[in-house]
Each structure stands twice: as C-alpha cells, then as structure tokens.
C-alpha cells in the first residue's frame, strides 16, 4: 500500500526535472497543467505539455526500456496480433500535430464545485506526434462483424499497487478507432514518448477527451460491446442526457459518454494583468481548436461582449491540430479592461460567455477565456 522506497516519483523536491513552470495539482498521481502563457508556442514542447496520470508511471517508461514490450491486438479479430515496436513501425508512418485535451479541462469553473482535478485552462496541448493509423493495424488483424468497440490496457500501475487493477482502461466505438486520424504514436516532438506521456506507445483519439488516448499501451481489446474497463462505468466521462440544475444528483443511466470535445480557445499572449499604453494597439494571440477538428472563426471583445472584433485565424497544419489566431485591438480610453476571446466551430457553435451547463463531474467547460488589461 505504501510507496516503495527509492521510487523516483516519490522524491519530495524536484518531482519532475523535465517539466518547467507547470502548475501541479497532485503528485500522487501526477497531474499538472500548463499556465496559458506557456502554451504560446505553435506546438507545445514536451517540457510544457500537461500531465494527467491516473496511476504510477511504469518503470519501463521511466527507464525508456523497450526490452520485452509488445502490443497485443485481440478479441473480435480474425487473427490475434502481437507486435513489437519495429513491427508497428512497418506500417505506413504518419506525422500529425494533434491536440490532446483533458475532458475535465476547465472543471474549476463549475459552481457548486465538481469532483475531480480542478483544472483551469491548461489541461491541453498540441504536439507533433509520429505513429501509424490504428486502422491499418486493425485491418491487418481483420475485424469480425461483431467488432463494436475497443478497450485499451496500459502498463501503468494502480496507486494501491494491486496489479489486478487498471488505473484507467477506456475505449471508443469501432468507427472512431477506424477513423484515419486515430493513431498509435511512439514519438512526440521528434523524440520517443517521454515517460510521463506514455513510452513506448500511446493511442491518440483526436478531438475526444484525453482519457480515450491511452498511454503505456500493452493491449487493444476489440470487443463485441461497449468497453467496461476502469473509468468507463458510473459517471466517468459522461454528461447528463438532459440539462440539470447545478448540484443535482444524476444517475449514470441518465448520462451519456462525451465524444467530441466542444470548441475552445485560449489567449496565450499577453498574460492577464498586464499594463498597456493607450496610444498603441494591443497585439493578442492564442490558439483555437474543436472536437470536430476545425474552427471557422475567432473573435475578441474589449467591452464585455457588446461588440466583437474578428481575429485573423490560420488554418490548422492538419486536421485536429489547433489553429493560431492573432488580433490587434485599440482602446478608446485609459482604464481597466477585459479582453474576451471566442471561437466559433464549423457548425456555427460558439464558446459560451459563461460556464456552460453544470454536470456532476465538471466536464467540458469551454467558456470563453477573459484576461484583464490595465490601459494607461
């Protein structure tokens, strides 16, 4: 039950040498988000990428040791596969910049408080990943007609040390698994996956909650029914089917899985609270993304949403990457202002001005970001 002596995860100081400036929410398990001003890069470097762990990082990952590792594909398949990393790398390689966002990003905004890690804005990042399509691997195994869902299993260890328990074992419907953008990735920003990010192989289901993108993979189980692994049951990653008043108890049967994450954006420059001279325009920038993989428009407001200024929004480098936006605003007078940033997705849905409908686990808060500017 107690942590093993000498485990590098349990050192009191300097918990992570390879992360800079993140705000840690928990050390056991390790959860840390990125301040938005540190998400300013076009692509999030490894040492700025947020960490969301459910259990203990496997020793293999800490030691970057590949020996003895393989990925099993089994279940509703014609032929069970057991693939080493070189065998996986034999499939057609793709490189994609992909957003991974925690389903609970923004949870801290819900009132009354929702259970779980109190992420604010920084449980999101967009890095360059290299891998293969899960689809190609599943086609090699041959899906039976009964194939309905996948469930992943990883090498991470349950916090209690009980090896019969998974810290997390989620999955997605077979259609999402077979989508051409769903990847098995081994490289992040040009280097093998860091220990915290799933060495040696992780799943990436773009646009869906980060918990569907399993780390430290050992097995993909193709199932004939909805996967029921850890964090697939109860209220986990579900939203109420009908809107509820804040604080309502909702039965799991009245809830449905989150699939595509809603449209969202962040202001990465300037930081909130800066002073700005009135005679110059203020240059703003940030990123926008959505679970459907494309953002149509970006606007900012300096008058609490009364009027909106269109930002310049770049297309994504590939689908499911985030999109850079820039804007320049002029202030009519000196004084204390707020700048609001609002993204619109390709169906016309905008980010809400306030925290959206309360849900028991505090998922999918995609309210607009607001920063304060002191104009002098």
Q: Which are the contacts of 7, defined by CB distance < 8 A and separation ≥ 6?
A: 56
Asked if 270 interacts with other proteins (CB under 8 A), we say yes
Distance in angstroms (rounded) separating the CA atoms of residues 240 and 231: 16
Find the shortest distance in angstroms from Cβ 15 to other proteins. 5
Per rule CB under 8 A, count of chain residues that contact other proteins:
65
Asked if 275 interacts with other proteins (CB under 8 A), we say yes
Asked if 303 interacts with other proteins (CB under 8 A), we say no
Beta bridge partners of 83: 71
Between 51 and 141, name the residue whose CB sits nearer to other proteins: 51
Asked if 26 interacts with other proteins (CB under 8 A), we say yes
Q: Are the C-beta atoms of 150 and 184 separated by less than 8 Å?
A: no
Asked if 293 interacts with other proteins (CB under 8 A), we say no
Host H or E run for residue 305: none
Between 226 and 274, name the residue whose CB sits nearer to other proteins: 274
| Count of Cβ atoms closer than 10 Å to residue 214 Cβ | 28
Asked if 94 interacts with other proteins (CB under 8 A), we say no
Q: What long-range pairs does 29-34 form, CB within 8 A, spacing at least 24?
A: 29/53, 29/54, 29/55, 29/56, 29/159, 29/167, 30/57, 30/196, 31/117, 33/105, 33/119, 33/120, 33/121, 33/122, 33/123, 34/122, 34/124, 34/125
Asked if 277 interacts with other proteins (CB under 8 A), we say no
Q: Report the residue from 24, 251, 256, 310 that binds other proteins according to the rule CB under 8 A.
A: 24
Asked if 16 interacts with other proteins (CB under 8 A), we say yes
Backbone angles phi, psi at 251, to 5 degrees: -70, 145
Asked if 121 interacts with other proteins (CB under 8 A), we say yes
Task: Find how far residue 290's CA is from the centre of its chain.
Answer: 11
Distance in angstroms (rounded) separating the CA atoms of residues 257 and 244: 16
Between 234 and 315, name the residue whose CB sits nearer to other proteins: 234
Asked if 252 interacts with other proteins (CB under 8 A), we say no
Find the shortest distance in angstroms from Cβ 234 to other proteins. 8
Distance in angstroms (rounded) separating the CA atoms of residues 264 and 351: 6
Between 123 and 178, name the residue whose CB sits nearer to other proteins: 123
**Binding characters for other proteins, 152-191, by CB under 8 A (x = yes):** ------xxx-x--x--------------------------
Asked if 117 interacts with other proteins (CB under 8 A), we say yes
Asked if 13 interacts with other proteins (CB under 8 A), we say yes
Q: Which are the contacts of 221, defined by CB distance < 8 A and separation ≥ 6?
A: 74, 75, 150, 151, 152, 153, 171, 227
Find the shortest distance in angstroms from Cβ 318 to other proteins. 29
Between 172 and 367, name the residue whose CB sits nearer to other proteins: 367
Binding site for other proteins (CB under 8 A): 1-2, 10, 12-17, 19-29, 32-33, 35-38, 108-113, 115-118, 120-121, 158-160, 162, 165, 230, 234, 245-247, 270-275, 336, 338, 354-355, 358, 367, 369-372, 374
């Amino acid at each position: 039950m107690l942590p093993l002596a000498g485990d590098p995860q349990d050192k009191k100081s300097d918990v992570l040498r390879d992360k800079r400036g993140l705000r840690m929410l928990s050390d056991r398990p390790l959860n840390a988000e990125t301040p938005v001003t540190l998400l300013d890069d076009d692509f999030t470097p490894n040492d700025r990428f947020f960490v969301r762990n459910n259990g203990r990082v496997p020793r293999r990952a800490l030691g970057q040791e590949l020996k003895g590792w393989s990925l099993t594909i089994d279940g509703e398949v014609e032929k069970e596969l057991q693939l080493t990393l070189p065998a996986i790398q034999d499939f057609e390689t793709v490189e994609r910049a992909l957003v991974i966002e925690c389903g609970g990003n923004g949870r801290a905004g819900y009132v009354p408080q929702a259970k779980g890690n109190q992420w604010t804005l920084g449980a999101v990042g967009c890095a360059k990943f290299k891998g293969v399509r899960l689809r190609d691997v599943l086609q090699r195994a041959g899906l039976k007609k009964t194939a309905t869902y996948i469930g992943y299993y990883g090498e991470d260890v349950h916090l209690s040390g009980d090896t019969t328990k998974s810290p997390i074992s989620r999955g997605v419907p077979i259609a999402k698994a077979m989508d051409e953008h769903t990847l098995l990735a081994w490289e992040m920003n040009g280097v093998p996956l860091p220990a915290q990010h799933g060495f040696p192989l992780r799943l990436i289901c773009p646009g869906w909650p980060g918990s569907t993108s399993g780390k430290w993979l050992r097995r993909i189980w193709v199932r004939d029914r909805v996967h029921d692994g850890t964090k697939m049951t109860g209220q986990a990653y579900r939203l109420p089917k009908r809107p509820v008043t804040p604080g309502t108890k909702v039965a799991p049967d009245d809830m449905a899985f989150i699939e595509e994450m809603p449209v969202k954006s962040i202001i990465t420059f300037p930081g909130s609270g800066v002073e700005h001279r009135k005679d110059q325009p203020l240059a703003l920038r940030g990123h926008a993304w959505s679970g459907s993989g494309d953002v149509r428009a970006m606007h900012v407001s300096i008058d609490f949403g009364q009027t909106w200024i269109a930002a310049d929004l770049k297309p994504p480098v590939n689908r499911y990457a985030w999109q850079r936006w820039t804007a320049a605003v002029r202030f009519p007078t000196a004084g204390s202002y707020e700048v609001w940033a609002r993204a619109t997705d390709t169906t016309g849905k905008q980010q809400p001005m306030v925290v959206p409908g309360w849900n028991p686990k505090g998922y999918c808060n995609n309210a607009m970001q607001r920063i304060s500017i002191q104009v002098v």
